[in-house]
Structure 1
Amino acid sequence: MLTTLFAAADPATFSWSPKCAMIMITCNGIAYAIARANIQKPNDGFEIPNSKFYGGLSHASVVGANCLGHIFGIGAILGLASRGVL
Structure 2
Amino acid sequence: MLTSTLLAAATTPLQWSPIVGLIMILANIVAIAFGKSTIKYPNAEPKLPLVNFLGDFGLPAFLATTAFGHILGVGTILGLHNLGRI
Fold match by TM threshold 0.5:
yes
In the TM superposition, 1:3-82 aligns within 5 A as: 3-82=3-82
Structure 1 stretches lacking a partner, 5+ long: none
Tell me the alpha carbon deviations over residues 24-81 of structure 1, each in whole angstroms, 9 at most, x when there is no partner.
0000000001110110111121111022211321011111111000000000000011
Instruction: Between the two structures, name the one with larger relative contact order (CA 8 Å, sep ≥ 6).
Output: 1
Q: 1:4 to 1:50 in 2, by over 3 A?
A: closer
Q: CA deviation at 1:2?
A: 4.2
Q: How many residue pairs align between the two structures?
A: 86
Structure 2 stretches lacking a partner, 5+ long: none
For normalisation by structure 2, the TM-score amounts to: 0.90
Aligned partners of 2:56, 2:17: CA distance in 1, in Å? 31
Aligned partners of 2:3, 2:39: CA distance in 1, in Å? 44
Superposed structure 1 runs of 4+ greater than 2 Å apart: 1-4
